[in-house]
Amino acid sequence: MAVNTGAIAVLIICFFVMIFLRFPIAYSVALSAILCLLYQGKDLSVVCQQMVKGISSFSLMAVPFFITMGVLMGSGGISEKLLNLADACVGWMTGGLAMVNIVASYFFGGISGSASADTASLGSLEIPMMVDRGYDVDFSTAVTISSSVEGMLVPPSHNMVIYATTAGGLSVGSLFLAGYLPGAVLAGSLMVGSYIISKKRNYPKGNPFSIRHFLKELSVSFWALAAILIVVVGVVAGLFTATESAAIAVIYSLLVSVYIYKGLDWKGVWKSLEDCIDTLSIVLILISTSNVFGYCLTTLHVPDLFASAIHGISENPIIIALLLNLILLILGCIMDMAPIILISTPILLPIATSIGLDPVQYGIIVILNCGIGLLTPPVGGVLFIGSAIAKRPMEKIVIATLPFYGMMLVALLLITFVPNISLFIPKLFGYVSTAPGVIGMLAGA
């Protein structure tokens, strides 16, 4: 295997230099790839070919539909209804509003699939509500931004579609099913942390649990939650492809938002569609330019070199799994989610499968790592949104979030080393995994 060290250096160094100079990520990816190709003396027509190839995928057509569905439902007046449902479920506990915040994010994640949308939509309601009830503003914000990460694990998530495509046509339905238990594990770990802090600070409980009140709120929220059933059940049962189910869910979301919840009028619908186009243009540019970057990585054999380097550090599957998580966490501090998935998956997925991680399980690990990255400076988009909503300095929010970082890392380790957290539900629906898991690989050795 011939190694062009100079071209690799040009590609990697130019990319990270532009990242630290705060170039837009799409420009960093594209320009570093172009400079690498120029260094090798290759025809730049490759750039156009690979960009078109990157977005010429039927499964990627689901991405704009899921984004549109999330924006319509998020703007359609469902946030308050999901908050009320969460309150009916867990508001009676110590630190009740913190628990409500976490559970509401689990529900809302199934609607929006976006941590940013969760924080912006629910946070504007939850943070003032918690402060009015005597909760510390920094704690309230920390709970809000931490729980928003659940939204990327609970399907439908357009990031899962991006990962499935990048991983070589992995089953989107299996990824959707795989997200429920990890999302619940993350929610449970955050609730434990919130309970301990609430107990120490004597935060109040809500109203006692009432099954009648719960059923009432469930009936109100049913129309919003049914959108998840359309997507997940439709895909898993084989009634629709992911793209078809997403398109149907967009029409359903439009009808629910305009005619049932009446949170949107037609003027608001057009404004929501403008927001969708803005988001989608960014996502598609990233996918197309990242495909050029990935082409350079592949032709330069960087995945093979990286795998050799990782295995050179240790052959122990546990150490390698921890290294993979560390790499993803570091990338999350300096890059946004989509580029991490697009760039790192071709490099790291073969290493992950070599130590017994199933591609579906690894996808959940990637998404959770990227979600944690959204809460970390200097590029934590969700951290910035939470700070802006609460009108608090970012460093204060980071300090308040430290216990929740710890709880999220506990959830990450459980998901990494207990495969059935991710794979139990997919296996129930016929997904066959031959991966032994990290611990299984170690035992086999």
φ/ψ (deg, to 5) at 366: -60, -45
274 or 35, greater pLDDT: 35
Closest CA to 56 of 247, 296, 245, 291: 291
Q: Which residues pair with 94 in a beta bridge?
A: 205
Q: What is the pLDDT of residues 184-212, one digit of tens each?
A: 999 999 999 999 999 999 888 877 888 88
Find the domain containing 401 and state its range: 5-444
Mean pLDDT of 329-341: 81
Banded pLDDT at 2 (limits 50, 70, 90): low
* Over residues 284-306, mean pLDDT: 82
Q: Give the residue-averaged pLDDT of 420-427.
A: 92
Average pLDDT estimate for 29-45: 89
Q: Is the pLDDT of residue 224 over 80?
A: no
Of 299 and 275, the structure prediction assigns the larger pLDDT to 299
Q: What's the pLDDT tens digit per position in 126-153?
A: 888 888 888 899 999 999 999 989 888 8
Amino acid 59: pLDDT:
65
**What average pLDDT does the segment 232-242 reach?**
74
Residue 157: pLDDT over 90: no
Specify the number of domains making up the chain: 1
**Contact at 8 Å (CB) between 198 and 55?**
no
Q: What is the mean pLDDT of residues 318-326?
A: 92
Find which of 114-118, 274-278, 394-398 is predicted with most confidence, using mean pLDDT.
Answer: 394-398
User: How does the average pLDDT of the chain come out, rounded?
Assistant: 83
At residue 58 the predicted structure's pLDDT band, cuts being 50, 70 and 90, is low
Between CA 362 and CA 351 the distance in angstroms is: 10
Higher pLDDT: 63 or 320? It is 320
Which position has the higher pLDDT, 70 or 147?
147
pLDDT in tens, 252-270: 888 888 888 777 788 878 8
CA 417 from chain centre, in angstroms, equals 20
pLDDT at 414 over 60: yes
Report percent pLDDT > 70 for the chain.
94
| Per-residue pLDDT at 112 | 65
Please tell me the distance from the alpha carbon of residue 380 to that of residue 86, in angstroms, as a whole number: 27
The reply to whether omega before 156 is within 30° of 0 (cis) is yes
pLDDT category, 382, cuts 50, 70, 90? Answer: confident
More confident residue, 147 or 25: 147
pLDDT value at residue 110: 66
Cβ neighbour number for residue 193 with a 10 Å cutoff: 23
Per-residue pLDDT averaged across 96-114, rounded? 80
CA atoms within 13 A on the CB side of 1: 11
Contacts made by residues 261-264, CB under 8 angstroms, sequence distance 24+: 261/76, 261/77, 261/78, 261/81, 261/223, 261/224, 262/77, 263/75, 263/76, 263/77, 263/78, 264/72, 264/75, 264/76, 264/77
Closest to 246 measured CA to CA, from 256, 232, 266? 232
Given pLDDT bands bounded at 50, 70 and 90, which one contains residue 178? very high
